[in-house]
Chains A and B, each alone.
Chain A
Amino acid sequence: MSRSVDKDGFPAYVSAWEDRIGAFLELLEPGQWPAAQTGGESSPVAGLPCGVKDNIAVEGFGLTCGSKLLKDFRATYTATAVKRLEAAGARVIGKTNMDEFGMGSSTDNSALKRTNNPWDTSRVAGGSSGGSAAAVAAGLVPFALGSDTGGSVRQPAAFCGVVGLKPTYGAVSRFGLVAYASSLESIGVLADSVSRARDVFRIIQGEDPLDETTIASRIVHGVHGGAADSTSPGSTKNAGGPEKILAVLDPVSLAEAVGSAVRGAAALENAGRGAETGPGSAGAEAQLINLLEKEVLQGYSKAIEGFKALGYRIQEIVIPSLAYSVPVYYTIATAEASANLARFDGIRYGKRPEWAENPEDLIDKTRAMGFGPEVKLRILLGTFVLRSGFQDRYYLRAQRLRKRITSEFLSLFSAKEGSKEGPSALLMPVFPTRAFGRSENGLGGPALSAFAQKAADIFTCPANLAGLPAIAFPASVEGGLPVGVQLLGAPFSEELLCSIAAEYEAEHPIPHPEGFQSFWR
């Protein structure tokens, strides 16, 4: 059974959009789509096409990770999450573009293709799962898999106006996800509705013997501590049950947090240069003071008002360690990346030079020509922070801070169980800006420097550091571009987060870019 409502005109619709946004690195024509596996007919994804980020292995497709080095590499096996989707009847129809190895916030770090935002093709789609977000936003697929290491599902979801779910660490198998930062990332879902994201999550989650960091399903069903499984959005409304509370950050602390992230990231960058204050850091900071867009604050305020209208009590909170999250995130992520990317040496697979003097020369040449500048930067940074004699100053210190950040977030949500007074979830912006442009003076607004893009991970990377689930969804459209917000919750509270997001979605339908058509139920 195909869930496509109207296939007439679909091929033309896809190619018209794809020409403009370039979401896919590899895309099957509707006539070439694989047949849905039998057995999953009753599943909510039966017959549905989907996209898969090109760092997740699907046998028969490429697995480029957006890198020149893996341009011609074909996956030799299929990721566990994709196998589960296929068993439920979903059909993988293409691989989506991404920042090289997941390193970036725009998808412009792809070495293979440029992906544009469907709302404004002069702007970026976000990243690193930009292809997946753009494909869903344009209606080319009802959902796509992405991966979220520091916000790579939620941020492009916010930029493109779709739903992005980053599951609890260990809820979804990473087997088949090309590792960038193993302890931080998880496979996530980009979808055209909250309920679709939840459906897909339910299928892909669960323990996997091939990934020993997966945790046996401890999915908390029901809402606000209730035991009943809730699938209808209205069920969270107060009907004499416990009070519904959402934690929020007030605008002043938001601005402060962004400012401190800028200073923290600057310190990290300078450490990499081996100087306390490096050239350009003052200028970088100056640009970043105004990093938080007023449109993002407007969207965030609207979301808060929206939840108030839904009967939520809003509790303003402070998370002192939030300021450390960006430097801690980049220290740990780059350390892990330096090891994870070491296997790309051109010896067993991947693009390699025509000629090399010896194996060492082969490895040097392969990596010099195969990796892009952002990837090289992060490998160098990771190698630096792991040097013997320096671990205490960087890597181990970051791990200690990570513990502190984790415990601050966990205590925020655990208060609820004891006193019934604490919040169910924390509502935060996703990114300080809406989808940004590519140039200083040209169309579509200014570009965001690579440095600013890192500092701007402040709202997304805490969920990765603490291993918490988070769902991003559109709060409003401001100045012609969607603004996303996200809900963070306790580990394995995906169902609860989806229910809360679905309440908002029922009152504030997902917006669509001009020319959007829905082909999927």
Chain B
Amino acid sequence: MYQSFIGLEIHIHLLTDTKVFCSCKAAFGSEPNTNVCPVCLGHPGVLPALNKAAFDMGALVARALNCSIPDRTWFERKQYFYPDMPKNYQISQFASPLGQQGYMDMVIRGQKKRVRIKECHLEEDAGKMIHAGTVSLIDYNRAGTALLEIVTEPDLETGAEAEAFIQQLRRLVRFLRVCDGNMEEGSLRADANVSVNLRGAGLGRKVEIKNLNSSRFVRLALDYEIERQKEVLDAGGVVKQETRLWNENRDQTESMRSKEDSHDYRFFPEPDLPVLEIDEAYRSEIQGRLMELPLDRMERFVRDYGLSLEQADYICEERALADYFEAVVQAIEALPKEEAARRVALWLAADVKRVMNRDGVGADGIGQWSFSPRRLAQIVELLGRGAISGKIAKQVLELSVSEDRDPLAIVQERGWQLIQDPELINRYVQIVCEREAGSFDEAAAAREGGNLKRFETLSAYLVGKVLAESQGRCDALLVKEHIEKKIGEAKKCAC
């Protein structure tokens, strides 16, 4: 009977070299108050100068979210006093932000859902206040770094949907290489607005939730808050319009301030920065920088390579991994494209992933890994055309990584190509059958007696022994043929 409405406000730290309105380094982890200058400290007399790279990144995200970039966009001053905000106003955008009226398609439970994007606006971040005992300290290194705020319409309904949206937006901005998406370090921050009302009755009274520093907390907090609001309504009460904080220790939202205490930001156009006129040349420049986005790429992988949705999803989590995948498939010549793709996907999701985890190679760093796409392609090809066994292939992977050498060279040098020469195979079969004469005779007897199950068990045992004898180099299928033939012949001799 109830319907919930969730809108998100997501701040992303843009990966610019310098701050958004001065030339200070935009770096994290530096000594406090080392990346500062008169401009970002708000000294008297200084003026902001827009970092074009930040604007370009903002415009790129706006376009990736299908927002339109207006003909004229400008900055406003958002005024409120806070010790970590040097000017006591934030340069932000209000009336004509750089991205307007877009949408993002997301996949949730195998279904596509479209979430409307209200706007994307560029602004500066504040510093950080640290309370230490009886003193408060402020680090202004972060003050003036570039933030892009992405505001959705209230199109999400559940905590799970909001979580999925954030995860997929995170993937998008990482794909675009404009944000590292790290929620713990605050490079991606989310606030949520949620309201509950009787189905069909429109939006309810809005509650804002802050302090959501992981996508999991977003889900937990929203699910908690939706239930809380339903209970209030069930009891005949009215939901109070307020700002609440997520308390991760108690797993609940708690009131922070009511609407009456809310700021009047007294927005007005920033007189120190001129209005930006956007022309077609700029729009096409940004369009030219847009690449295939994660969802489109996933869909193409399913369509063109025959991957499952789960495989495509895993591979497209990181742009570098998806690039790596396609480079491997490209490099495989000996197999049909779809077969090559499926084999590569399996390798990436299993053995390669295991080695990466062990060696601390992140999916985003796979492009710089010594184990290049060509090397994985060699392994898949060797295995695919039956030149090495699956067991050998895994060993080759390990050696190729640890020795930083090509798999082909390793296989050749160690003579690990599969033995397919009938004479050689026969020699191994002969040795094993003589050593395991008891089993051999029993197998022959079982076959004679029609005990097929026993026969198969024993012949498989003998095949295993032959493979072991050849250190895995004999082609298993050929060995099986040879053993079965030999057992058949043994029976003939016995007559």
Nearest chain B CB to A382's CB is how many angstroms away?
9
Given A73-B44, A175-B45, A212-B49: A363 and B268 interface contact (C-beta under 8 Å): no
Contact of B273 among A212, A344, A383 (CB under 8 A): A212
Residues on the A chain within 8 Å of B50, using CB: 212
Interface size on A, residues (CB 8 A): 45
A345 touches B83 (CB 8 A): yes
1/0 contact string of A355-379 vs chain B (CB within 8 Å): 0000110110000000000000000
| Other-chain contact of B45, A178, A213, A342, A348 (Cβ < 8 Å) | A178
Q: Are B44 and A70 in contact (CB under 8 A)?
A: yes
Say yes or no: is A319 at the interface (Cβ < 8 Å to chain B).
no
- The answer to whether A339 and B45 touch (CB under 8 A), given A213-B274, A387-B266, A388-B266, is no
- Is B46 an interface residue, CB under 8 A from the partner? yes
* Contact of B88 with A by CB under 8 A: yes
Q: Does B264 lie at the interface of the complex (its beta carbon under 8 Å from any beta carbon of A)?
A: yes
Residue in B45, B48, B49 whose beta carbon sits within 8 Å of that of A63 in the complex: B45
CB of B38 within 8 A of CB of A339, answer no
B399: interface (CB < 8 Å): no
A383 contact set on B, CB distance < 8 A: 266
State in angstroms the CA–CA spacing of A412 and B48 once bound together.
34
Within 8 A of A (CB), among B55-111: 77, 79, 81, 83, 86-89
How far in angstroms is the closest Cβ of chain A from B326? 42
Known contacts: A211-B47, A343-B87, A363-B81. The answer to whether A348 contacts B41 by CB under 8 A is: yes
Closest A residue to B77 by CB, please name it: A339
- Provided the pairs A339-B268, A348-B41 are in contact, do residues A212 and B83 lie with their beta carbons within 8 angstroms? no
Which residues of B, 251-268, contact A by the 8 Å Cβ criterion? 264-268
A54 to chain B, nearest CB (A): 11
Give the nearest-CB partner of A349 in chain B. B43
Of residues 60 through 82 on chain A, the ones whose CB sits less than 8 Å from some CB of chain B are 63, 65, 70, 73, 75-77, 79
A-chain residues with CB within 8 Å of residue B129 when the two chains form the complex:
359
Q: Does B136 contact A (CB under 8 A)?
A: yes
Q: Does A244 contact B (CB under 8 A)?
A: no
Give bound CA distance, A373 to B129, whole Å.
32
| CB-defined contacts of B81 to chain A, threshold 8 Å | 342, 345, 360, 363
- The docked-state distance in angstroms from the alpha carbon of A178 to that of B87 is 13
Given A347-B83, A363-B81, A387-B264, A57 and B272 touching (CB < 8 A)? no
Q: Report the minimum CB–CB distance from B90 to chain A (whole Å).
A: 11
- Does residue B42 face the partner (Cβ distance < 8 Å to A)? yes
- Do B45 and A57 touch across chains, with their CB atoms under 8 A apart? yes
A76-B38, A386-B266 given as contacts; is B46 within 8 A of A175 (CB)? yes
**Would you list which residues of chain A between 389 and 412 have a CB under 8 Å from chain B?**
391, 395
Residues of B within 8 A of A76 (CB): 38, 43
Report the minimal beta-carbon distance from A380 to chain B, rounded to whole angstroms. Answer: 13
Residues of B within 8 Å of A73, CB to CB, are: 44
A518 at the interface (CB under 8 A from B): no
A343→B88 contact, CB < 8 A: yes
Dominant secondary structure of chain A at its interface with chain B: loop
Q: Is A108 an interface residue (CB 8 A)?
A: no
Q: How far is the CB of A499 from chain B (nearest CB, A)?
A: 30
CB distance from B259 to the nearest CB of A (A): 13
Contact string, B191-215, partner A, CB cutoff 8 A, digits 1/0? 0000000000000000000000000
* A336–B271 touching, CB < 8 Å: yes
The residue that A79 contacts in the complex, of B42, B45, B89, B136, with Cβ under 8 A, is B45
Q: Indicate whether B138 reaches chain A with its CB closer than 8 angstroms.
A: yes
Residues in A whose Cβ lies below 8 Å from that of B43: 76-77, 348-349
Which residues on B sit within 8 Å (CB–CB) of A174? 47
Bound-state CA distance A387–B129 (Å) is: 28
A135 beta carbon closer than 8 Å to chain B: no
Chain A proximity of B1: nearest CB distance (Å)? 36
CB distance from B81 to the nearest CB of A (A): 6
| Chain B residue nearest in CB terms to A350 | B44
Residue of A nearest to B41 (CB): A348
Q: Does A210 contact B (CB under 8 A)?
A: yes
> Is the pair A178, B44 in contact by a Cβ cutoff of 8 Å?
yes
Kindly identify which residue among B49, B86, B266, B271 contacts A343, using a CB–CB cutoff of 8 Å.
Answer: B86
Besides A76-B38, A339-B79, 20 new A-B residue pairs in contact (Cβ under 8 A), listed by A number: A57-B44, A75-B45, A76-B43, A79-B45, A177-B45, A178-B44, A182-B272, A339-B89, A342-B79, A343-B42, A345-B88, A348-B41, A348-B86, A349-B43, A363-B81, A386-B266, A388-B264, A388-B265, A388-B267, A391-B268
**Residue contacts A-B, CB under 8 angstroms, 11 given:** A56-B45, A57-B44, A57-B45, A76-B43, A176-B45, A179-B45, A338-B79, A339-B268, A348-B42, A360-B81, A388-B265
